[in-house]
Amino acid sequence: MKTRILLFALLFTGVVSYAQQDAQFSQYMYNTINVNPAYAGSRGALSIFALHRTQWVGLDGAPVTNAVSMNTPLNGSNLGLGVSVINDRIGPTTENTISADLSYTVLTSETFKLSFGVKATANLFDLNVNRLNPVDDDPSLHDFNNKFTPNIGAGIYYHSDKAYVGFSVPNFIETNRYDDNEVAIFKEKINYYLIAGYVFDLSNFAKFKPALLTKMIEGAPLQVDISGNFMFNEKFVVGIAYRWSAAMSAMVGFQATEGLYIGYGYDLETTNLDNYNSGSHEIFLRYELFSNKNKITTPRFF
């Protein structure tokens, strides 16, 4: 009961203060399509991605996220297409987000490309007040079933085979997820994302990629994710990440076949919340289909 009370105190305190509300991913570098629509088609293959994240294990009502996405270049054009679905459950709330992405890429030099992207999103929000287990009935609390809100977003992505930098705003429209007597207590604010990374060739068998993700939102502290990943023999990946004033992460990955990549991440809180949970787990699969024309000789590291 103690952990349940703590979770909902944190949840609604964050909601009122407009805290980060997008689904949290530690291995965002493999799931870029969800934060930047310009990424669609940039890998030069049909890329299918699935992720499961269980956050704050042991804490009642803690976030559980499932994400599935697909993106691909459209042959014979500079266009890329992507679709994604995210199911995010936190305590009494469930959000299902369905997005479609369209990108357009231009060649800026022999090695770099610049992509522009737009995103259209449909959000379905559920609130089940029975999961709150209130001591006394509160007539002001009521269920919401599949409350629909649309949104639009955009992004830019400058990239080569070794480096990338991108800026995006996935949601331009501020929307109220839940209104209590016409006062919004769950309001989605505009989120700004800045991502960057570079791949260093350490030897014929080893590569190192530092990466950065910064999330900015009005009324909330700046969130910065810094990571460093090593790739060995084009197959094995190990790395660590630090979410500023929030968590440390360890990550491993394996290129099982030419098209199949498997990854796992573990987060350990660096805040007082660490006293109430045993960490967060994240696992994902990525499968890619390459044509003879766009077949790559070495795996892309992002």
Cite the beta strand spans of the chain per DSSP E: 46-54, 64-73, 79-90, 93-107, 113-127, 144-159, 163-169, 175-180, 183-188, 191-198, 200-201, 206-217, 223-232, 236-243, 247-255, 260-269, 280-289
Supply the Cα-derived Rg of the chain in whole angstroms.
Answer: 20
Does the pLDDT value for residue 284 go beyond 60? yes
**pTM attached to this predicted model:** 0.86
Q: What pLDDT is attached to residue 147?
A: 84
Task: Please state which of the ranges 154-163, 178-187, 292-301 shows the lowest mean pLDDT.
Answer: 178-187
Are the C-beta atoms of 155 and 168 separated by less than 8 Å? yes
Task: Please state which of the ranges 23-27, 84-88, 147-151 shows the lowest mean pLDDT.
Answer: 23-27
Coil, strand or helix: which one is 28? Answer: helix
Residue 3 lies in a domain: no
Residue 10 lies in a domain: no
Q: 242-254 pLDDT, tens per residue?
A: 998 889 999 999 9
Residue 232 lies in a domain: yes
Residue 2 lies in a domain: no
Interval 100-105 mean pLDDT: 98
Coil, strand or helix: which one is 132? Answer: helix
Interval 23-37 mean pLDDT: 89
Residue 59 lies in a domain: yes
Q: What pLDDT is attached to residue 166?
A: 97
Residue 297 lies in a domain: no
Q: Which domain holds residue 152?
A: 21-289
- Name which of 176, 172, 167 is nearest 148 in CA terms: 176
- CATH code of the domain in which 78 resides: 2.40.160.40
Amino acid, res. 78: N
Task: Please state which of the ranges 34-48, 130-144, 235-249 shows the lowest mean pLDDT.
Answer: 130-144
Strand partners, 209: 229
Q: What pLDDT is attached to residue 18?
A: 38
- Split into its structural domains, the chain has a count of 1
10 Å Cβ neighbour count for 84? Answer: 22
